[in-house]
Structure formats: C-alpha cells, structure tokens
Amino acid sequence: MSLIVIGMSHRTTGVDLLERVVLTGNQAQALGESLQRNDHVNGSVVVSTCNRVEVYADVETFHGAVTGITESLASTTGLVVDQLRDHLYVHFEDRAVSHAFQVASGLDSVAVGEGQVLGQLRDALRVAQDGGHLDPSLSALMQHALRVGKRVHSETDIDTVSRSLIERALVTAQATLGELGEQRALVVGAGAMSGLAAHTLARAGVEQLTIINRTPAKAARLAEATGGVDRSWDDLADAVAQADLVVSCTGAVGHVLDSELVHASETPKLLVDLALPRDVDPGLAGTPGVALISLEDLNAAVADEAEKTQLTAAHELVSAEVAEFLVARRAAAVAPAVAELRARTAEVVAAEMSRLEQRTELTEHDQAQVRTTVHRVVEKILHTPTVRIKQLAGEEQGGQDYAALLRTLFDLDPHESRVSQIPHGTPPGGEAP
C-alpha cells in the first residue's frame, strides 16, 4: 500500500480552469464515494478549496489508482480527462507526505501562511470519516498533517507573511488613492483573509470601514471587532459605489464584482481581489477611474528579509516533521512481520512444552518454571534482531523491504500458521508424521 496525492492548484493551472474544477460539498462527497468503489484505492480524502482540488489516497497499485482517480475527477467535474491531465500533479509516498504537511502549514497557499486551509483540511477529513472512506494509514497522515499545521502557526511567525500581503496591497492603495486616513474602505467577505484585511485597514486608520458578507451575523461580528459598520448583501452595489477602496475575498464561485456592480468613477477607485477563484471580473481593469490588483500581482512582489526568515523556519519545521513521520511509518510497516515472528515462536514454545509434558512427570510448579525460562530465552534471542530490524526499516537503507525479508528468513505467513501441533503419542525422539 502506498500514499499518493493527485490534484491541481493555482501552481499548475490558470484560474479559468481552476474555477471549473472547484467542487461543491455534494460533488466532493460524490467523488469520495466513487473512489471508495475503486479496487485500486483503499482510502481517500477529497480536499477542495478556492485554489486547489486534491485527492489524498492510500492505494494498492500506483498506475491503476492514478487512472481511476483522474477518471473520477473528470466525471465529477464534467470535464474530459485530456482537459485535466496536463494540469494534474501526482506525489508519491515521501513527496505525498511532504506535500500534505506543506498544504496544512499554509506554505502551498496563494496567500502564503494563511491559516484557513487548516479548517478546510479538518472538514475534508471529517467528511471522509463520516463516509467511511478512511483507512488507518491515510488517517494517520491527515491527523499528523493537522498537527504539523498547528505547530507551524504556533511556533513560527508565518502568519506575518500573509499580513505582509495585505500590507503590500495597502502600499499600492496609498500610492493610487492618497492618504488612507481619507479613504472609505469596503471589505467583501468575512473569512480569514477578509478578516485580516479588515483589521489591517482599521489599524491603518481609514476614514470609514464597511463589512458586507452573505451571512449577516459574520459581517456584524467582524464589523464590531474592527470598529466598522456592517451592511446587507443587498446593499453591495451601493456600498461599492460609495467606497474608494474595495477588498474582496469571498471564496465564491463566479465573479462577485462585475461591470453591473462597478461603474466608471470620477475619482480613483481601487479594487483588491484576494480571492481564488477570482471575485473581481478581470475586465474591470479597463474601466475608467478603476484600478485592479490581484493576488498574482501581490505575490509577484519580492518578500523582505523578515518574511524570508519566517518561511525558512516554517520549511525547516515541516522537513523535520516529514522525516519523523516517514521513519515511524517505515518502522510500523515491519511491525506486523515482527508480531508474526513472535506469534510463531510462541506456538513453537507451546508445542514443545506440550511434548515435554507428555514425556515427563513434572509438577505444575516445575512446568511453570520451565515455561518461564524458555520464554525468557526466546525474548532475549528475539529482542536485539527485532529492535534492529525496526531501526533499519526506519532508516530505509537501500530501499530494502525488511518485512518481506523477515518473512522469507523465518518462512512466515501472515494469513496462516505453519507450526504443526505435535500430536499426542509421538514417540520419544521421533518426528511428527
């Protein structure tokens, strides 16, 4: 069994195609159910966010699983395989683990360091659990990925990287509009990035801050936390018309701000699109008096030394966690063979003790003493090789399959015991027939 990740993200395809493959909750669930019927897939987790669609899977056969997952993804999205193939990436085993940990840490996000992806992974894991799509190996990977993501956010300052993204947008805003203290700002959305933008605008001292979200309660909470005002989604067109600076990040499929909502402006108006898929129709960039900056524009800016330091720290933490996980995974892979060896020796001891009891007239006390002595001898003989083989498996020197080697050396069969029970009446010194 092997771990793989197959999917596409903002790194491998354009926004136009990515917008077409973003899955609704029902589609993601249907994809998971489809994969559960695939003989090549033991377990799967479907992750669909505004900038990625990925399947994490524990598989029996690599090529069969890749083909099956690709076909299921195409069927679910309504696209043909050829439309997807050139944009999909596949990560196998070590690279799959590394990718999962980087995604959970926000290192693979459009807005590097954002923490919203942790909640999205947690939701995807819950859906897979509820649907019975998980196996132990995949569950261990996803649970560990969530722990790594939490560590990165609590032990590094990677959150400052996404804050810097917003701050770069404000630098552009000030250069375009003038002093921020004289600007009326509108934030569309109330998620993690929108909240970050709202707090940053509040600290910058904008003249007026308005929050609009499809869920009024969320808009109200964010407005209260930032000293702004909340308005109804039905007021979006009017709020856009009154704003000098509009920051949008809703995660919606389709454009939230288009030509029907945004009109030519006599005074400069700046639209900041932090969403992927895009919230703002790119065609608005040509509207008189309207300027548009996107995530791509902001990410193109060179990170400063502080940001680079935080990114380095996060990458180093993730690398250490990947190494630790792989060592434990490889050591665990040999554990069943070690258990089989111990079970075999226990059966041999039991059989020989049965033979001894038939040939001698030992008291129960003597039998217990002999049994304890034999057990200690066996344990001492097995201890060093079983510990060492787990260490070697963890180190994976030369890619050796130590579980298979152990089964070959001791003729172990995980499905049946080859130890013959000594039949009663075997003559002393004789062999069982």
**pLDDT for 375 beyond 50:** yes
Cβ proximity of 164 and 191 under 8 Å: no
Most confident of 161-165, 240-244, 291-295, 333-337: 240-244
Residues 213 and 233: beta-carbon distance below 8 Å: yes
Give me the sheet containing 269-273, strands edge to edge: 229-231, 208-212, 184-188, 245-248, 269-273, 290-294
Residue 102, pLDDT above cutoff 90: yes
- Report the pLDDT value the prediction gives residue 143, as an integer from 0 to 100: 95
Which of 90-104, 161-175, 196-210, 313-327 bottoms out in mean pLDDT, i.e. has the lowest? Answer: 161-175
For 188-233, give the DSSP string: E--SHHHHHHHHHHHHHT-SEEEEE-SSHHHHHHHHHHHT-EEE-G
What is the arithmetic mean of pLDDT over 292-316? 76
Query: Mind listing the domains of the chain with CATH numbers?
Result: 2-156 (3.30.460.30), 160-301 (3.40.50.720), 319-410 (no CATH)
Percent of the chain with pLDDT over 70: 89
Q: Is residue 174 predicted with pLDDT exceeding 50? A: yes
What's the average model confidence in pLDDT over 385-400? 65
Per-residue pLDDT, 37 = 92
CA 292, 298, 302, 305 torsion-angle sign = positive
Residues annotated as catalytic are: 50
**Beta strands 2-9 and 89-92, pairing class:** antiparallel
Provide the pLDDT for residue 427.
34
pLDDT value of residue 417: 38
Mean pLDDT of the chain: 83
What pLDDT digit, counting tens, does each position of 67-92 carry?
999 999 999 988 889 888 889 999 99
What pLDDT score was predicted for residue 430?
37
> pTM of the prediction?
0.64
Per the omega criterion (within 30 degrees of 0), is the bond before 277 cis? yes
352 alpha-carbon distance from chain centroid: 51
Inter-residue contact 267 to 289 (CB < 8 Å): yes
Q: Bridge-partner residues for 47, per DSSP?
A: 54
Beta bridge partners of 246: 186, 271
pLDDT at 403 over 80: no
Instruction: For 308-346, write each residue's pLDDT tens digit.
Output: 788 888 999 999 999 888 877 777 767 777 777 788 888
pLDDT at position 202 is 92
Angstrom distance (rounded) from CA 162 to CA 194: 11
